[in-house]
Amino acid sequence: MSIQKINPNSLTTRFLKNKRVLKTLEKISEHGTSFAAGTSLILSLTVRPAAIATTPDTEKENKQYAIANSIGSGLMKFAMVESVAIPIEKAVKNIDKNPEKFLKTSTLENLGKNSKSYKLITQVIKLGTGFLTAIPKSILTVALIPIIMDNLFFRKRTSKANETQTPQVQNNKNISFNGLSDKISKGISKIIDNKSIQNFAIKHQDKDKDIAKHITAATDILLTSTSAYQTNKSDRILENRKKALIYNNIISTGITLGFGYGIDNIIKKAMGNFVDKFKLINANDPKLHKYVEGINILRPAIIFAAIYYGILPIFSTYMSEKIDKFIEKHK
Q: How far apart are CA 102 and CA 182, in angstroms?
A: 9
Domain region containing 130: 11-164+208-329
What pLDDT, on the 0 to 100 scale, is given for residue 155?
66
Q: How far apart are CA 258 and CA 240, in angstroms?
A: 29
Q: How far apart are CA 259 and CA 303, in angstroms?
A: 9
Q: How far apart are CA 327 and CA 116, in angstroms?
A: 50
Exposed e or buried b per residue across 25-39, where buried means at least 16 C-beta atoms within 10 angstroms of its C-beta: bbebbbbbbbbbbeb
198 found inside a domain: no
Q: How far is CA 3 from the centre of its chain?
A: 32
170 found inside a domain: no
What pLDDT, on the 0 to 100 scale, is given for residue 114?
63
Look up residue 308 and give its DSSP letter.
I
Q: What is the DSSP string of 43-107?
A: HHHTHHHHHHHT-SS--HHHHHHHHHHHHHHHHHHHHHIIIIIHHHHHHHHHHHH-HHHHS-HHH
Q: How far apart are CA 258 and CA 320, in angstroms?
A: 18
What pLDDT, on the 0 to 100 scale, is given for residue 173?
45
CB 127 within 8 A of CB 215: yes
Count up the domains in the chain and report the number. Answer: 1
44 found inside a domain: yes
What pLDDT, on the 0 to 100 scale, is given for residue 5?
65
184 found inside a domain: no
196 found inside a domain: no
What pLDDT, on the 0 to 100 scale, is given for residue 171?
47
Alpha helices in the chain (DSSP H): 11-16, 19-30, 32-45, 47-53, 60-80, 86-97, 99-102, 105-110, 116-132, 134-152, 181-193, 195-203, 211-233, 239-270, 272-281, 288-305, 313-329
195 found inside a domain: no
CA dihedral (320, 324, 330, 331) in degrees, to 10, reads 140
Which residues of the chain fall below pLDDT 70? 1-5, 113-114, 155-179
- Tens of pLDDT along 176-231? 444 578 889 999 999 999 999 999 999 888 877 778 788 888 999 999 999 999 99
Give the number of other CB atoms < 10 A from CB of residue 70.
Answer: 28
310 found inside a domain: yes
Q: At what angle do helices 32-45 and 116-132 cross, to 10 degrees?
A: 40
Q: What is the pTM of this model?
A: 0.75
169 found inside a domain: no
